[in-house]
A = this chain, B = another copy of it.
Amino acid sequence: MYFHDKRLQYPVTVDTPNPQFARMLQQAIGGVEGEIRVCMQYFFQAWGNRAPTTKYRDMLLHTATEEIGHIEMLATAVALNLETAPASVQEEGVMDSVVHTVMGGGNAKHAIEGMIHKNLLSAGMAAMPIDSDGVPFDMSHIYASGNIGADMYANVAAESTGRVLATRLFNATDDEGMKKMLHYMIARDTMHQQQWLAVIEELGGTENLPIPNSFPQSSEDQANNYNFYATAVDGSYPEGRWTQGPSIDGKGEFTVFQNQPLGPEPVLGAARPDSGAQKKQIGL
């Protein structure tokens, strides 16, 4: 179960509210690389964890709980960036500042831009669980496979795309408050990448491979498990670490296979009379 402190994990300030940057921040809330995703992913991995020990359940709960605070920080940042967005045409200065802005300022463009966003129409100038294009977050992005190796790689991937996004946001603003908030969040993404890689190391590193390592490799097609399939019509392929030498798991040797059909042309049974097909499909 859970507790809260009404203070923020880290200070969130905005020097110059910018509705357009508010929209960009939404990607870090409701985007597929965002904080709702990692928060919920770690929670569902924790709640379904079946390892013989509850150690990994515990650890996941610590970090999932931390992530709620990150969504909260970003939601606060969005609301603060929307503070000056106009809700009505009567609002003082909007029209005037359009001219002003184009000549050197920056707010009016943002202001008008902001008017078409759901953040204003649906939420009254607040954050929503949507991405920077207004697409709501879809919980199918919560990967919790029941295999801790697959889950840890999914977590590394999530924190990698997450940190890439955070650095893009950092580069896209010169607001000091926003840069400070983001420099903190980027640091936490660094730690979280490390953390999931540390679990992989603790679980044995390459011994985890191939995932799942509980399936006997003798049951897979051993003629096709370490060869790169070349599918170019002219037989060319790019040489690299994946075309020769020992495989990464040390259990095979990389080779190259010029791909070709190993099976016949498939023939399905004809459509049946009662199946809603056309007569000619049935042979009538």
Q: How far is the CA of A277 from the CA of B79 in the complex (A)?
A: 15
Interface size for A (C-beta < 8 A) is 196
Q: Are B191 and A224 in contact (CB under 8 A)?
A: yes
A33 CB to nearest B CB, Å? 7
Residue pair A138, B135 in contact (C-beta under 8 Å):
no
| Interchain CB contact (< 8 A) of A229 among B63, B98, B189, B190 | B63
| Identical chains bound together, number | 6
Smallest distance from the beta carbon of A112 to chain B beta carbons, Å? 7
Q: Are B153 and A157 in contact (CB under 8 A)?
A: yes
Residue in B closest to A180 when the chains form the complex, CB atoms = B221
Across the two chains, which residue of chain B brings its CB closest to A273? Answer: B214
Flag if B62 contacts A237 (CB, 8 Å): yes
Q: Which of A112-155 contact B (CB under 8 A)?
A: 112-113, 115-118, 120-150, 153-154
Q: Is the CB of B91 within 8 A of A102?
A: no
Nearest chain B CB to A87 CB, angstrom units: 5
Can you sample 7 A-B contacts with CB below 8 Å?
A5-B261, A44-B127, A44-B129, A121-B165, A146-B164, A190-B220, A197-B209
